[in-house]
Structures are given as C-alpha cells and as structure tokens.
Amino acid sequence: MKHIELVEISKSYDGKNKVIDKISVQVEKGEFFVLVGPSGCGKSTLLRMIAGLEEISGGLLKIDDVVVNDMAPKNRNISFVFQNYALYPHMTVRDNILFGLDVKKVPKDEQNKRLMETAEVIGLTELLDRKPGQLSGGQRQRVALARSICSQAAICLMDEPLSNLDAKLRAHMRTEIRRIHDKFKLTTIYVTHDQVEAMTMGDKIMVLNGGRIQQVGSPLDLYNTPANKFVASFIGSPQMNMADAVIKDDSIVINNEISIAIDESLKGKLSNGQKYSIGIRPENLTKAEFSSEISHAVVVDGVELLGNETQVLFKVGGKTLIARWPGQWRLNVGEIVFIEFNTDNIHFFNIETEALISFSENIKEKASA
C-alpha cells in the first residue's frame, strides 16, 4: 500500500485558465478516496495527472513522499480502470487479464497463480475462455477490475467505471468494488459524478467544482456539515432544500412567507434584520397534525410514492421544497398538509460567500454525535 499527496497541483492547457487550481490533499494508505463533482469540474483530469497521463502544470505530486511529477506512468506502480473498460475484443478474458503481466514479463507460473486467485474472488473462473463480446456489462467491468488487481499495483485509479451500467447493476457493482477493495487493501482513487456512489463507497470524499476543492471529509461529514451551499445541494438525494431567510422579532421568515420561532440555542446569534440562505434536508421536514410555531399548513404540489417512503412537494414563497416521509402517504395535489420546520436542523449560509456559518453549533454537535 502507498499514500499519495497532492501539493497545490494545478493544470492549465493555455497557460492562463486553470482547469485544476491548487489542489492540496492527502490520500492515506489503503483508503478508498472518492473524487466527486459535476461534469467538467476537473476530476478526471486530476486522476489522469496522478496516473501520469496528463502533464502537471504546477505543484507537486508525491507517492510515499517521492516527487513523481516527471516519472513515467509505467514506473508509478499504478493501475487504471477506465470508463469504457478498455478490453481487447479479439482476446479472451484470460488474455485480457494477463496482458499487463506479459508486458511486465512476469513469469508464467506467477501469472497463472495471480489469475486463478483473482478470478475466483471476482467470480470469473467460468468465463476465462470467453471474449468480451460474449459478456454482460457487469462481467466486462469485473474483467477490467481483475486486470487491475492482477497487476498488484499499490494504487488503483478508477474513472467512472460504472457509468455505462444500468441502475440495478450499478448498485450491485458498487458493493462488489468495495468488497474487492476491502479484501486487497488497495489505495484507491475513484472518480464519479454520482453522489450516491460517493456516499456509499468512499472512506473519504473530495468534492470538486470548477477545478477547486469545495470540501474533503467522510460521507457523513459532508452530509451533516456541508462547507457551503454547493456541497449542501450536491450531496444528498433528494438534494437539500435551499431557501431565503430573514430574522424578524425572534423569528425566521422563510421566502417571505413562513415564520418560525428561533430555537433557544440560536437566540443571540441571529441578528434582527439579517438575511441568510438556509438549507434543510427533506427528511427534516416532518409531518405534523396541526399548525404551530414550528409547523405550518402547506398545499401539496406533487407526490412521489417510492414504496418505502413518500416525497411531498410544496411551495413556500413560490419556491418548491421537498419533504421526505417514511412509509406510504396517499395524498392528492391541492390537499393541505402540515409540515414541521425544526430550527435545530436548519443550516445557515452566508448570503454572499455561500459558506456555512459557524454559529450553527447545534448542527456540528449533531454531526459528531
């Protein structure tokens, strides 16, 4: 196992505009580290820089404290699992897996030993004589993983390896990849735009946007205490509800329509007349039986029955919010329901910088509990 350190890594193709801007982060030995962000944020470019497939414009890339900026990819002891699997269609599964070992001139006995051990773990033993065209998408993905594992490289890089699979197979392969990682203890950097993959697979997540780090932390750190509005709305499905708020007479007025009493823990920390952006998770908008200081009557604007839960859409000040309730609630559009707004679960963001405001100590304490 090896650890990786990025020190102010930057990338520019024209010498002016940076697609990666001073990224500094450490990936620990044996860690499953996920890079997540929207399309075009620079995550795949960063992964290719680590692999040596893209030139580094600035900063230092270290593997076990050795600077490798100018080291050839073949000397970095890294395996790469590509989005399109990169299998040779004319070769059998066996030959595809062993191709890298042939290039490295690993003895045949050692090759066969690695092949059989890996094939058994990943479930490819019965498929070794087939060609990629005879395999399903999930099977082809396992072949790409087997080739990476057989190389016995200390670092495994994966670039959106599940993006070509259907939803059911993606869920299965998430579990498979994580199981394989835990067995072989590879230092893994995994790129995805899917926050569900990031949350369910990663030991640690780095959220990127516009080539810059938005936040690095455990999945629950990012979910419970997002550093800014971007992370808050990117992590979580459905995403966090965002709204405008202003403080008036010990109350929080949401989207100029709903007024709820300030929680005791926040009194004295919220200034009268001050404006904020606020966020609240859909599961924290709970169903109430009647209107009160923290609950209000709203009109159902849409209903999504998912079997184990119900998502209820409604408008506050013309902006749509989503509540997520456990169980099956058969509601009709236009029906009036009561929603509880608990200020203990509200995140406050600076309206200009969009950063999480530190006085939300109750939220931080909840996240660490």
Q: What value does the mean pLDDT take over residues 360-368?
A: 43
Last residue of a domain, one of 168, 193, 228: 228
Last residue of a domain, one of 202, 228, 254: 228
Q: Tell me, what's the pLDDT at 2? A: 77
Q: What value does the mean pLDDT take over residues 284-312?
A: 92
Identify the weakest region by mean pLDDT among 64-73, 143-152, 318-327: 143-152
What pLDDT, in 10s, does the model give residues 2-13?
799 999 999 999
Q: Tell me, what's the pLDDT at 328? A: 95
Same domain, 78 and 215: yes
Q: What value does the mean pLDDT take over residues 324-338?
A: 95
Same domain, 62 and 142: yes
Residue 255: Cβ within 10 Å count: 16
Find the CATH number of the domain harbouring 297: 2.40.50.140
Same domain, 51 and 163: yes
Cis before residue 282, ω within 30 degrees of 0? no
Q: What value does the mean pLDDT take over residues 36-64?
A: 94
Q: Tell me, what's the pLDDT at 84? A: 80
Over 60: is that where the pLDDT of 360 sits? no
Average pLDDT across the chain, whole number = 89
Q: What value does the mean pLDDT take over residues 262-271?
A: 79
Q: Tell me, what's the pLDDT at 235? A: 93
∠ at Cα 25 (22, 31), nearest 5°?
150
Same domain, 258 and 152: no
Over 80: is that where the pLDDT of 237 sits? yes
Domain hosting 82: range is: 4-228
Rounded Cα distance between 30 and 3, Å, is: 8
Identify the weakest region by mean pLDDT among 41-50, 179-188, 296-305: 179-188
Query: From edge to edge, which strands make up the β-sheet containing 295-305?
Result: 285-288, 336-341, 295-305, 309-316, 319-326
What pLDDT, in 10s, does the model give residues 108-146?
999 899 899 888 888 889 999 999 999 988 888 889 888
Our count of domains for the chain comes to 2
Over 60: is that where the pLDDT of 364 sits? no
Contact 306, 353 (CB under 8 A): no
Last residue of a domain, one of 228, 252, 272: 228
Q: Tell me, what's the pLDDT at 33? A: 97
Rounded Cα distance between 143 and 246, Å, is: 55
Find the CATH number of the domain harbouring 66: 3.40.50.300
Q: Tell me, what's the pLDDT at 359? A: 65
Contact 190, 46 (CB under 8 A): no
Same domain, 256 and 278: yes
Q: Tell me, what's the pLDDT at 366? A: 41
